[in-house]
Structure 1
Amino acid sequence: MSEPRTLAIRVLPQPGESLDSWLEALARRSWTSLSALLDALGLPTQERTHHLLTGLPPEMFQRLKKQLNLRAGVLEQSVVPAALFGRRAPHWRFCPQCLREGQGRFPIRWWLPWTFACTKHQALLHKRCPSCHTEPRVFLPRSVHLHPPGHCMRRTGRRTVCGADLGELPALALPHGHPLLQAQEQLNALPVHQRMAADRTFTKVDKCLSPLVESMSASDLIPLSEAARDAWQNVLADVTDPTTGLGGWRAQERRRTVLTPDFLKREYTDGRTPLRVIADTHGLPRRHVIRHAKDLGITIFRGIRPHIIDDKQWLREQYLGRARGIDDIAQEIGTTNNVVIRHLEDLGIPRRPFSARSLTALNAKLDESLPPDIRAAVEGTLHGWLRLRRFQISMAFPTISSAAQHLGLVSSALTTQFHQLEQAIGTQLFHRSVRHSPQQPTVRGATLLHDLRQSQIEELMQNALGQRMDPLPARDAVDTATAAVDGQQGALTVLRPHATAPRRLNIPAPLHPLLSHLLHHSDEETSVSQIHTATGIPFNTVYKQIKRLEAAGWVTSRLETHAERPAAARRRTFYSLTPAAHQAAATTADVPRHDFVHEKRGSGTDLGESSQSVTGATARVG
């Protein structure tokens, strides 16, 4: 049998470099695809990239070392055992600055679930490509020699890839000395190699992560950007997920230390606390808690255990005095309807007919001191409080359609609910909207809105709705809906100097071409004649629109000096974007600055992307 051939061109691996990163660099140096290189080396061409890190058989591993003429111990530092990842495939994270500085080469640590920050650049790692919004290295990259290093190689077609430059992503910066950076420095000190034992490694990782999670407070997250907070929450979810290697080990250790026989006897057997409640309280999977209790010899009760109601007078008061339903009482004391029914029969209390009229909400009575319209809307109905809350929210919007879109409903459903509300109260509550005239409450409706703002009524509404109580709309959401309804009649958003850029911008359609041109040439001054020549917009139209932008604080003007213009020529007026306009445009730096998105009326759009144009659009910034 002939000896395996060695490669003529070689690329030395960097210390701690991932095997897939090194093979990709070698393929680029040999000007061939990564799949062709793997085939030449006798390695399987896997569909998933992580198989190169965890799935190579020992014989292939030794063959690869001989073909590449590597010294002992080099390849062992570029792969990790599969036991570190459990049932989930590893996820790759990256630091844009490191990719840019290392020409697309990266360490094996970026594959580990507990690597979430770059201590060199003091920033959290990214997970997704800014263009295709997917993880870049899930699938094995193929034609790497045809694309620059550090670019997204996720396939978008049969012969095309995304190609976005991952090194251009903004840094998810962390303050100096932040607890996340300190914890990551400790984790980076742990050795990474092929023969690392999973349990021993998890023990060391948990010693670094547990104090971090316990000591992290809301104040530590305040200095972070919204994107950085989301990145950290995603990492924390990956680390604690029981399907991952570390998450499963943490769950097992927590079960062993928390769910002791004495604890289960005290809480479950004697305290009658359901196992699902114990599991949710301690953040453990329910099936694991049940299996652990069985292994300890604890008797498991299927369903809800029988409940003994000792206070008979309390039951009589709840069912007869307060007219509460059987299911409502059973839910409060943690038992079944049959148990409550049996106790009612023992007390000789006749049951109400089984129908919707027996529900607690239909029989509840409000205090007579409350406004009559509130009582008329709530008493004897199932969803009276819900209709009142939606009426309160809807009256902040110009039309029922915009209110329904905010609430996630269809307009017809909201109209039906308001019709039922008006029938219960017995009068019209608001005037419907007409063209460029928003809906308005009637005198009776305005009085109802005033009553709903009382603290006593808000507390009653909160108790009745609980998590179903929608918050009142923010001011920018109402402004966006109003501008979208007005269409071209909507005013251009005014940008004020030294003020925070608004989260939403209303930009009427006639201003899109001019503003797009100014953003594309944001670093230079321009005149009306230059805009006319570049865009083809009529001279008078450019002049009127540029004055409109200047009045709204988007551009500033400067008259040409005598030194810049010969004495005989007429001096021109130059225009440039104001700092406020630059600030508004900077919030969309992840997309081209010379296009706009124009979606359907009222939907809200992002400044910086491209789509079909309509008569008016609202740009969402931030």
Structure 2
Amino acid sequence: MTQMRVLPLRVKILEDEGLDSWLEALARRNGVSLSAFVSALGLSRGMFTRTLVTGLPPETLRQIETLTGLTAGCLDQAVIPPGFPFGPRLQSRCRFCPRCLAERDGRWLLRWWLPFTFACPRHQTLLHDQCPGCALGIRMLLPGRTRAYPPTTCTRRDKQRDATCGTDLTDTAPLPLTAGHPLLAAQQWVDEVLKHSDPRKTHGVIADLNSCTHWLLRAIEEGDLTGMGDHVIHAWGQRPTDVRTPAERARHLTAAVRGVIAHTATAWLADADDTPAIQAIRVLRERNDTTNKVIPWGMAAHRWHSLSERTRGRFLRAGDPHMGALDRLRARSLTARAASPRPGDHLPTARVRHIPQLLWPGWTVRLMPRHGMEENPFRAIAATLLLVPREAALSARHITDRLNPHLANTMTTTLQLTLKNGHPDVLAALCNLADYLDDHGSPIDYARRRTLVPAVPLTEDAWRQLCFDTDTQPGESANAKTKTPRYVYAQRFVHQLLTGADLTDPRYRLALKTPAERSRYHAFRTALTTGQREALHRHAEQVLDALGIAEPVIWEPPQHLADGLTLPGPRLTDIDLPALQRIVITEQRPPSEAAEELGITLAHARFALDHVLHEPRAWGRSSPLTAWKLRERARTVLTPDYLQREYIDGGRTLTDIAKDIAIPRHIAVEQARALGLTIYRSQRPHPIDKTWLREQYLIRKRSTDSIAQELGTEDETVRRRLKQLGIPRRPAGVHSQQVMILKLDRRLPLDIRNAVEGGLHGWQRLHRFQITMAFPSLETAAAYLNTHQGSLVNQFQRLEHDIGALLFHRSAFGKPQRPTARGKAILRHLDKAHVQALMRTALPNSKTTPMPDPTTLAQALAANSTRQPPGPLRPYPGITVPRIRVRRETLVLLHDLLAHPGEEFYAAQVAARTGLNQGSLSDRLRQLTQTGWLTSRLEDDTAWRNRAPAIRGPGKRRVYYTLTPEGRRAATHEIERRSNPNQPRTTACTPHTAPQPA
């Protein structure tokens, strides 16, 4: 800004006056035009008038205050605050009330610049949007010739007539509104919002108004304007409706249109009860919305996301009946906390730590439908659905992969079955559960447990001891056919108890693989006595203590989260537990009969049995429990130390040992086998010295066969002894061969050792490399070695990989191959006598080839020097287009072009017909266009726009090609020449021979 003295002539700024109006009055007082005055202040002459109230930086305002003698900061009230939400269309013109303008002697109010200032409550009229004389917007440009016209005059200049409008705006006919008119009430509400003490509240409401504007332009119908007057209805009929086009978006919205929008939006933007607000939105949404719509039809996504949380929540609750089930969960549209998911929200990701793979039992019986649903899939999917609320991802697979990836395609099916059973409140309950976990968390970190809890948290011994302590029978197997030990089901029970795991998930070691196994697992749970169940819970507590996890074994969210909801199942406490105990425990009837008799599902009966007293049965002296106690005594007495002393070192038999401790011999044999001892039924073999065996096998790398031959025994005997000593055996096959484990002398060069050690055929690759480097190319070397060139390439690539460096430079036209510095060093090492001796020892005569003699090398050099690069292409006889090299892909393209003569086409059509890659096909089409075989043109505007999908741009223009007459002749010539192999080739000429005419 240029230096300027304090103005001697000043004008007082009026209340509610805009900076543009005050500067105009100040310019008139000093006898200059506004544009000249603005220029003197250091601002641009060509700026819009709006910029004076919306675009001046604070330091400019402070300098103007200094020049005009105003108090610092007083001009902040004459401009619109920074960040004020003007909306998608910046208000480029100023509205006015003729009577207010006359009363203020042409001084303009600041609020007339605001988009949603559309009426004058004082005079009960609509504001005017344009000059009645020139029919143009008011104060769009800086007022000119301010000294020649009064301040109430329109100073828009007509460039064609070179004249100023000069209309007195105070003579404009008013647009009266009756007392109590809806638009006056809407303007009063807007004014109260603008005067709110919290600017964030003001900005939020105005931003919501702006975001709803485009949608309301389509949603509001003329029937909604009853009682607003003909002028308002006529103005609404002239509104822009197709705001998808830039021209329509740029159209100015009149004061009447803005008033109708503000009046309609008041129903859900005002601080009112949610119920009428939601109903008002629902009436408008149901006019155009289709099924599974989250964002109202006609509202752009960026405007939807710019809505405030409260307003967007009301829109979601209004659209809930028409949204898809997953979207209803994601947005929680059934609850008062409805909100659109935000990308980057960490809560759904953090929530997975608080959710088991199977829904909690108490909530399973509340949410599971009575018909058409299996227990385990429902529990798994219901638990996964708890991750959906607030989840921004639209993919069901993305959600299920976090918890239950094996159920990726059943989430939506489960939701549909649940809703089909007439229980939409199940979705509300899931939302309440997810919100509770977000707000309060869970005392159990299931993600940590799924990581830390052992795959087998209960050993067989622990299960047996547990049953012994509770006077129950552990059982050897739950089913004679499968032979699955009963303790395995106990392990599954404890693992599921601790981790909430879905035992149908194949990732778990204890997973249930068949329906029969699942049925037996349910039978195991039903047969557990109260003492066994309590003991298993205590064992689970011990597992957590050992892991340092201070958490309860089980936990469920409180049941009050379902208050007020109609759910398909009862609470567990509402089930008749004494009747269930009588049917299942006393009468020994299956749980399915109890469920049918009590009017509940089988899942309800199974979970309720966990809360029923189940006493163990009384066992006799000949019962399996007695046999188990004998085995328990054997495990206690026949310890490893005892058997080592008596059986192994003392040489006693197991029969004698069993008699000493008063147990059957077969139980003593079982215990000895369980401890890994060898049971001898005859004379014991002489043992092999373990120190000597370790030295021979581990240090000297001898094979078990050679050791067995030296000892005069069988190979299997040596392997068994290795197993007894705990010596890890080398893998069978090539990895145990001497050449694979042999280490060369450390004095040999490192590159030679890297090429030979740890692999097969290293010496052969070095031998062939030494011979090949004597030839000028791989091709001539391959002919001498009687092998394929590709085989040599693979061998030398492996050699370079093992050594870790490039060994030679490949040959080119007229330039032989040559070794690199690293390759030369290897060749020098290979020439040494001791290295050659090692190579001859490692390679049999059948795999060695003598170095080539000078005559062979001379012939190879001569053959390599005759290779010439391809020459230029000959022109076509009688065809004017240049010749191109025709490969297989080009030949397929030419066949297709001749099959569609005279047609326009684009690359995607040819790719679909021929199967050629579209990228390489486009390159070939451009080459044919450059050489004159084809002509091309860009797609015209009409066709380009007509193929655009709904609410999206048309994308990239297509390029259409047409085969030229000369291109058709050239294509025909190429195809005929390849179909007639006897035709002379005229594709190229050598540098020494000129092309001959055909």
Higher normalized helix content (fraction of residues): 2
TM class by shorter chain equals: 0.3 to 0.5
Rg larger in structure: 2
- The structure showing larger relative contact order (alpha-carbon pairs under 8 Å, at least 6 residues apart) is 1
After TM superposition, the score normalised by the length of structure 2 is 0.25
After TM superposition, the score normalised by the length of structure 1 is 0.38
